[in-house]
Amino acid sequence: MSTPSLPMTEPLPGMPDRVTIYEVGPRDGLQNEKTVVPVEVKAEFVRRLLAAGLETVELTSFVPQRWVPQLGDAEELLDLLGAAGIGQQRPVLVPNERGLDRALEKGVRAVAVFGSATESFARANLNRSVAESVQMFAPVVQRALDGGAWVRAYVSMCFGDPWEGPVPVAQVVDVCSRLMDLGCDQLSVGDTIGVGTPGHVHRLLDALDGAGIGPDQTAVHFHDTYGQALANTMTAVGRGVRVVDASTGGLGGCPYARSATGNLATEDLVWALDGLGIEHGADLGALVETSVWMAEQLGRPAPSRVVRALSG
């Protein structure tokens, strides 16, 4: 594959010098695939992502296999990755204390819990109310912190919910605050069904900041259902957010919310960051090659527009 063309660099005032890409492809990107991807392919996917310069890669989820069959091979994946799969930049999702036990047994040093801003999705995803899920996460977070692990709190449905419709900002902030009060190191606010717009992003970040959760603690996680993921992400970056979730190739979805489509594509994000002169550490050409390779494994083209433009 030829070296890809690059955008012209035109910095904008107020933008950061560097952004951390939190790569979710191996976990959130693959979790909704109906055909189980061989664990050897998953391990190779992670190795290629690391070789492309991505520093933070979320590897898998220690959920029961009956919940998410695609991620039932978490232990085997970590065994295949060896030392490359361990450290505070190799987080895994844990839904409860049993999941945490499994992760800690494999030497994991970074974990994420996954809450919801709405009651409907909390019931669908965790079979618990919002309050009950926070109560369930409390010992998980505390034990992880006591063991020296880094902890992220995901909050999904922060902009809209397929059952409840638009989600009030105050409701989102309340759930985010409850999870961060447990002691989590980072909050990731998620637009699970992709209905957010830049003005909504501004309003939510304002409200979070007013509640004491500043952009230095906040990451954003946008799905691209309506083509708004990149616009929303760059809005957040302009507001001081320095950690952005993305999935190589634009893979993704949610098994508990059918209207959730793919994540923001890492390549699309990198193209935009390059155009602004913002450092991120990733090699665009290597990412495109990785997405083309993974698309071959999955038997369909990558959703990423940058991948399609540069690999055609």
The catalytic residues are 254
Structure-derived torsion over alpha carbons of residues 221, 120, 93, 234, reported in degrees to the nearest 10:
0
Contact 112, 154 (CB under 8 A): yes
Residue of 271, 269, 284 whose CA lies nearest to 3: 284
CA 120 to chain centre: 21
Burial (0-12, 13-18, 19+ Cβ within 10 Å), 243: buried
Pairing of strands 56-57, 20-23: parallel
Which residues are CB-contacts of 176 (< 8 A; sequence separation ≥ 6)?
Answer: 117, 153, 155, 158, 187, 189, 208, 211, 213
Residues 55, 58, 60, CA angle at the centre, nearest 5°? 145
Contact 41, 297 (CB under 8 A): yes
For residues 68 and 34, what is the distance between their CA atoms, to the nearest angstrom?
Answer: 10
Q: Which residues on adjacent β-strands are paired with residue 165?
A: 161
Residue where the block lists tokens 């995803």: 125
Write out the H or E segment, with its range, that includes residue 269. Answer: helix 266-276
Q: What is the DSSP letter of 240?
A: T
Which residues are CB-contacts of 146 (< 8 A; sequence separation ≥ 6)?
Answer: none
Q: Is the dihedral of CA 137, 85, 302, 279 positive or negative?
A: positive
